[in-house]
Chain A
Amino acid sequence: MTVTDAAAEQTADAVASALEVDHVESHLHPVSSFDLADHPMPTGREEIWRFTPLKRLAGALDDAPDDTDALTVETIGDASYVVGTLAPGQHPRGAALVPDDRASALASRHAPEAVHVRVPADTELDEPIGHRLTGAAGKRSHRHTVIEAGTHSRATYVLDHRGSGVHAGNVEVVVGDGADLTVVTLQDWDDDAVHVGTHEAVVGRDARYRHIAVTFGGSVVRTSSNVHYAGPGGDAELLGLYFADAGQHFEHRLFVDHNAPRTKSNVVYKGALQGERARTVWIGNVLIRKVAEGIETYEENRNLVLTDGCQADSVPNLEIETGEIEGAGHASATARFDDEQLFYLRSRGVSDEESRRLVLHGFFQDLIRKIGLPELEEKLTAAVEDELARNVAGKVL
């Protein structure tokens, strides 16, 4: 090596360090670690916990193993893609997810055998696969699921949560290059359930990842759905819909880490709130790193507040370290019913109550029709109709 080369290398190091290529000082990018000691019990003052009602978590953040028979697991669709289990550190477990909060660290620590779902390269599945988890009342469960979509595969994985209890769940997603994977997570828990979940995906080169979160039930449901990229050209779409009734706390936290050039992300979450102390929190974090030139990102959260006594928090955060991008934006709106919409419908003879139901139906349908999976769209439409029938019908709003 000549002196000139060494100098050039030093300069390159200096530039790299100045560019903070590897490390970003940002609250959007918390310290990740498998070690529970790095994730002490939160006090509620931490940025990532300040919205969560810690007292209502029913010990979800305690360091304790599963209760016996806490969770009943059924397989959805073709079970042959559930290929086995993975110990901590056994590849690909850990390839995408390193816990960045206590809930995730616990789910990892107390799930010695992660469920391994693998769709082989070039395989296209027409029918969804997945798991239905039913929690037992008063019992604690942990689960870690690894979903591996091989290169150029196409599949939909559904994780359906119902029942009761206290559940901490990690979903680790590795989307191979050119793959097209949709992960649907349904939170249709009983009214007393507590769920803390982390869904972390790494999206391969030119791959497409779609994450669809639907939260209708539970006492406290807090999910962190995160995405980063393994190469340029990845496209992530994160869709969510939720309907919080009296006393329910639904918290959806999202983090898209644009750590590769020419990647895309689109986040749309829509929710309705109704009843005393119905509470929703939406945190939409997007980080665009220096290296992430030519990326495109948009995030949107809309809340419809149906009654007095509800609270919707909506916090979009966009941190941009390069201006060399296609576009970055966000929108957040929390509102009551639009009087002009209701007037228009009522002027066509539709009753006040039916008009509200129709507007709400449309509010969610607007999102559901973006899903592009007819069977799931129908199922969600039916679920929304059911929710509307149960909650909006017969009540004076």
Chain B
Amino acid sequence: MSTLQITDLQVSVDTEDGPKEILKGVTLTIDSGETHAIMGPNGSGKSTLAYSIAGHPKYTITGGSVTLDGEDVLAMSVDERARAGLFLAMQYPVEVPGVSVANFLRTAKTAIDGEAPKLRTWVKDVNGALEKLNLDSSFSARSVNEGFSGGEKKRHEIAQLELLDPKVAILDETDSGLDIDALKVVSEGVNRFREREGKGVLLITHYTRILRYIQPDRVHVFVDGKVAESGGPELADKLEAEGYESYLGASV
């Protein structure tokens, strides 16, 4: 049983014109076994929320708190957050030339677990995870994200999710840029993760399309740096029909 608790989170970034407030008091509780979808228009601060929780140095926390099972996440370094059980599937995964996927995955797994995985089972696990995401075995010899297609990058992120097995996964627009087949493969990966005991998912998306494959427990509409409305899965249907316009009108 684990809980990611975000309370009144306020975040700013440095711009040429001084600090700019992006998150204006975000409160969310993700309990294990729950999937929360955060939906919102471009520029509403969805990705800022994801990267702030992961600890990207670009963002300055100006108020509020984030805890994982009561532990202060904001006091942790980036890698400590990951070792504590947080995982961020990135919208734009970064290329690391010369570092093979195999080396990267083993290094990450060793760091997360505090010990090197047993070689025999690990190779099987990696090949299995890649195969389930339609990535062939030559994939593990390639450099991390280098020359990957958009779909391969996203599938590689989800392979990491399954192998690193965090407590809470934050998926930042994992669905963007995917064709329908890739979207299904990625969604199946996320659903396999959700079926495991006690996992929480924070699914950030611009589109309702992915919610046909990943059924959320809660849907939050994110506008102008805060949650404008929360509800059950039916809220996604409303957004599908009406779009974000009513929220944008209200916020002006």
Task: Give A contacts to B, CB under 8 Å.
Answer: 338-341, 343-352, 354-355, 358-359, 361-367, 369
B247 beta carbon closer than 8 Å to chain A: no
Q: Which residue of B lies closest to A359 (CB)?
A: B96
* Bound complex: CA A367 to CA B107 (Å): 21
Pick the contact of B107 from A339, A343, A352, A358 — CB < 8 Å?
A: A358
Given contacts A343-B57, A348-B108, A358-B96, contact A366 B143 (CB under 8 A): yes
* Min distance, Cβ B215 to any Cβ of chain A, angstroms: 27
Pick the contact of A354 from B55, B95, B107 — CB < 8 Å?
A: B107
Q: From residue 89 to 111 of chain B, which have CB atoms closer than 8 A to chain A?
A: 90, 93-99, 103-104, 107-108, 111
Which of B35-43, B76-84, B128-136, B225-233 contacts its partner? B76-84
Check if B108 sits within 8 Å of A365, measured CB to CB. no
Check if B104 sits within 8 Å of A343, measured CB to CB. no
What would 7 A/B residue contacts be, using CB atoms closer than 8 Å? A338-B94, A343-B56, A346-B79, A349-B108, A350-B111, A366-B97, A366-B143
B112 beta carbon closer than 8 Å to chain A: yes
Residues of B with C-beta under 8 A to A361? 98-99
Q: Which of B55, B82, B107, B144 has most chain A Cβ within 10 Å?
A: B107
* Bound complex: CA A253 to CA B49 (Å): 49
Check if A346 sits within 8 Å of B97, measured CB to CB. no
Residues of B with C-beta under 8 A to A349? 79, 82-83, 108, 111-112, 164
Residues of B with C-beta under 8 A to A362? 96-99, 143-144
Chain B 172-194 against A: per-residue CB contact (8 Å), 1 yes, 0 no?
A: 00000000000000000000000
* Bound complex: CA A348 to CA B97 (Å): 17
Check if B111 sits within 8 Å of A341, measured CB to CB. no
The secondary-structure label for the interface of chain A is: helix
* Bound complex: CA A278 to CA B99 (Å): 26
Q: Which residue of A lies closest to B108 (CB)?
A: A348
Q: Which 10 A-B pairs have the closest CB atoms?
A: A362-B98, A366-B98, A365-B98, A362-B99, A349-B82, A348-B108, A349-B111, A346-B78, A344-B94, A349-B112
Check if B164 sits within 8 Å of A348, measured CB to CB. yes
B9 beta carbon closer than 8 Å to chain A: no
* Bound complex: CA A85 to CA B90 (Å): 62
Residues of A with C-beta under 8 A to B56? 343
* Bound complex: CA A341 to CA B39 (Å): 27
Residues of A with C-beta under 8 A to B95? 341
B54 beta carbon closer than 8 Å to chain A: yes
B88 beta carbon closer than 8 Å to chain A: yes
B10 beta carbon closer than 8 Å to chain A: no
* Bound complex: CA A361 to CA B93 (Å): 19
Q: Which of A341, A346, A366 has most chain B Cβ within 10 Å?
A: A346
* Min distance, Cβ A355 to any Cβ of chain B, angstroms: 8
Check if A347 sits within 8 Å of B96, measured CB to CB. no
* Min distance, Cβ A102 to any Cβ of chain B, angstroms: 38
Other contacts beyond A344-B93, A363-B98: 4, CB < 8 A: A347-B81, A347-B82, A348-B108, A350-B79
B3 beta carbon closer than 8 Å to chain A: no
* Bound complex: CA A345 to CA B109 (Å): 11
* Bound complex: CA A259 to CA B235 (Å): 72
Q: Which residue of B lies closest to A270 (CB)?
A: B98
* Min distance, Cβ A228 to any Cβ of chain B, angstroms: 31
Residues of B with C-beta under 8 A to A341? 94-96
B160 beta carbon closer than 8 Å to chain A: yes
Given contacts A352-B79, A354-B107, contact A347 B54 (CB under 8 A): yes
Residues of B with C-beta under 8 A to A364? 98
